[in-house]
Structure 1
Amino acid sequence: MEKIGALSDEMIDIMIKKGAILNAQDKNKNPGSLDLTISDEAYRVEGIFQPRIGEKISELLKIIEHYPHDLLNLFEKDVSYLIRLKEKFLLPEDVYGYCNPKSSSGRNDVHVRVLADGVPRYDALVPAGFAGNLWLAVRARSYPIKLFPGETLSQVRFFNQDTRFDEGELRVFLEQHKLLWHQDHLVDHREIKIRDNDGSLILTLDLSSQEIVGYECLGTDRVFDFSRRDYQIEDFFKPLYRPKKHLYLRNGAFYIFSTREAVRVPPDLACEMVPMDERSGEFRSHYAGFIDPGWGYGKNGEGKGRPLTLELRPFENLIVRDNQPISKIRFERMIQPPKVLYDKKRDSHYLDQSGPRLSKQFKKDQKTR
């Protein structure tokens, strides 16, 4: 029987060696995805666009007003840019891909979308057998940024079939694989009172477990250099402390929060944050979405999950309270477990994540004033 699902790191490596993925670097492989690297070819553009079927981005640029952008210069706030990605693709006829921003992009309010040759959809390498180049649309929303060639702002996950859970599968896997925890308690399907009955899990907002429950972006003109690892929190954010009743969020502002629940992703599954619908309110709760196999699993399966960081922007003035529905995830099958699980990676900034966590460009364990 043919195995179906998402491709693992070893399977991505095979595609690289066979020439299905060109210019990819080994260090950019993840347990269930591949980081995409920016080149030195960039343009300032009037707005973001989509190609028609069969239309190359390079050809479309000939009719779209654009200006060459030297990466020695800053990426200004609220200006759209287009950067060619280094990787090229000649995917097997049964393999397709979807992209998501990386955590560092999402947590710094940098909006990125992948445009693929001939694909009139964002963040999609479809249909199966995609061949062509990728470009990255970049727009810094809260502060100007500095990028260098080789920086990774987005990632791609590959599939040979859609294996996202339906509600029945979720009910079984939830307990068998210990997918959801709260304060060392394994959550079963009967305890989940708010659900969409579509195979997804709705997670809630944590405003009570720690003194600092979130961060609000200051929206400064200070430059954020993605290559640094020594920023102070107060350079770009201010902490939000545990409220007595609720928090007031401003329309259009940008916040970092955490889920109340801890998510555990076993080796044979992958996970993704997906959009909440309008019944939950006028807000967006995430910009980075992929959660790799092994997240919160522990080195040998002893893990009891790990909370997820939320990147939240309300589109109206919003009052939020502890345990309010705030985000949504879906699980899907891996074709095979990855060679290296997320919790066995040594270079991740988020292995000890508990509560809201800013990006890897900020110093860990800071005491806020």
Structure 2
Amino acid sequence: MTDAPAGILPAHMIEALFASGGIVADRTFDDDQIQPASLDLRLGKIAWRVRASFLPGPGKSVASKLDRLKLHEFDLTGGAVLETGCVYIVPLLEELDLPADVAAATNPKSSTGRLDVFTRVITDEGQEFDTVPAGYSGALYAEISPKTFPVLVRTGTRLSQIRFRRGHPTVSDEELTGIDAAAELITGGHARIGGGLQLSIDLAGTGKDRLVGFRAKRHTGVIDMDVKAAHDPLDFWEPIHRRGAAELILDPNEFYILVSREAVHVPPDLAAEMVPFDPLVGEFRVHYAGFFDPGFGHSEIGGAGSRAVLEVRSHDVPFMLDHGQTVGRLVYERMAERPRTLYGEGIGSNYQGQALKLSKHFRAME
């Protein structure tokens, strides 16, 4: 694979990486596990509740830190509830033996982030979360900490996804300006480019009731992470409606689902990633799940108008958002090759053509 071009590896290259032993698992991939530019990662058979989050650091394994920090071990094969306010470590079914020129990055899946389940991936000797160095050989572990809802998981549950890259495929602001001129990366606003494509918040409200977003309820029931359209949204969420000015005060320690004013377009030869926390625009986090696959919002497949749903949590102090205020930015990267199947093309894509939308676990609002 050393002669392959630089960029994010598409699905067919991920399949080749698995076939060549670069990805190792004791069971075959699920039918919908590979997305156009990423691979879902599956939880393994056991989990540990730990006293604290950690990084192993140089020369140290995850197992060595677990010996000091674990509180108890439990089985996931029959399912288990992960409680809010706790930190868990789970070995993943997928392990890696990457070529020397291939690195990787991980993020929570969109459905994970929209439930405020804080999830990161750790490697042996790791010094950063969600970062896999080029040539890494070893196990992967998920750190999981539900913040708002208790969740039911089991062996095979997919909370995180991994993206493989060769070289440095990030698109510069100058290149991005040219791409936007040719392909219109956003609609419903003017493209503002600086460190990536900047996005703003939509607080105008939609429909007759001027729905702006949702605030998570506390002390709810359990959400099964593997079941779609099973839960009544009003049991878990408080709808937020615009009353008066198009603004919203974020309360500390509360979790919100909001939406970008602009609709995002990711052309087939690019992928994108949301910067989750940018102190330059405010002391709040706007995204847990950061990957936007090639074809997201792409008009040729009927996905034009796909908004970026934002998972928002304020830090420490109340913070006021105004309609149209910049809240985040998308960094675009080049694909090594165009994927053979794009996001939304019959591959179980849950969020193509979305506007303001809760995760797939909830029934549609009546």
TM-score (norm 2): 0.92
Offset at residue 3 of structure 1 (A): 1.9
Residues 88-237 of structure 1 correspond to what in structure 2 (within 5 A)?
Answer: 88-126=95-133, 128-182=134-188, 187=190, 192=192, 197-198=194-195, 200-210=196-206, 211-229=210-228, 230-237=230-237
Confirm or deny that 1:57 pairs with 2:58: no
For residues 158-194 of structure 1, what are the alpha-carbon distances to aligned partners after superposition, in whole Å with 9 as ceiling and x for unaligned?
Answer: 0011221222111111112221111xx7x4x5xx3xx
Query: Could you tell me which amino acid in structure 2 is paired with residue 233 of structure 1?
Result: P
Aligned amino acid, residue 226 of structure 2: S
Letter in 2 for 1:306: S
Deviating more after overlay: 152-161 vs 50-59 = 50-59
Deviation by residue 1:109-166 (Cα, 9 ceiling, x = unmatched):
100010111222111111x111000010100111211111100000000001122122
Cα gap change, 1:129 to 1:222, in 2 (>3 Å): same
Distance 1:212 1:338 in 2: 36
2:29 to 13, 25, 32: 25
Contact map agreement 2:304 2:353 (CA 8 A) in 1: no
Q: CA deviation at 1:302?
A: 6.3
Give TM-score scaled by structure 1 length: 0.91
- The answer to which of 234-243 and 99-108 deviates more is 234-243
Alpha-carbon displacement from aligned partner over 1:252-308 (angstroms, at most 9, x marks no partner): 10000000001111110000001343231111011110000000113x366534111
Deviation at 1:66, TM superposition (A): 3.1
> Match of 2:89?
82
Shift of 1:209: 4.9
Choose which of 63, 67, 71 in structure 2 pairs with 1:66. Answer: 71
1:359, distance to aligned residue in structure 2 (A):
0.6
Q: Tell me which amino acid in the other structure corresponds to 2:202.
A: D
Q: Which residue does 2:42 correspond to in 1?
A: 37
Change over 3 Å in CA distance of 1:343–1:31 after alignment to 2: same
Partners of 2:41 and 2:327 in 1: how far apart? Answer: 29
Native 8 Å contact 1:88 1:132 kept in 2? yes
Root mean square deviation of aligned Cα: 1.7
Cα distance 1:29–1:98, how it changes in 2: closer, same or farther (>3 A)?
Answer: same
Contact between 1:295 and 1:305, CA under 8 Å: does it hold in 2? Answer: no
Judge conservation of contact 2:36–2:294 (CA < 8 Å) in 1: yes
CA 134–34 in structure 1, closer or farther in 2 if over 3 Å, else same: same
Q: Secondary structure in 2 aligned to 1:68?
A: strand
Q: Could you tell me whether the CA contact under 8 Å between 1:276 and 1:328 is conserved in 2?
A: no
Residue deviations 1:296-341 (CA, integer Å, cap 9, x gap): 113x366534111000001221222211111111101000011110
Q: Structure 1: how far apart are the matches of 2:303 and 2:286?
A: 25
1:333 counterpart letter in structure 2: R
Q: Displacement, 1:351?
A: 2.2
Please name the residue that 2:12 is paired with: 10
**SS of structure 1 residue aligned to 2:68:** coil
Residue 310 (1) aligns with residue 310 (2): yes
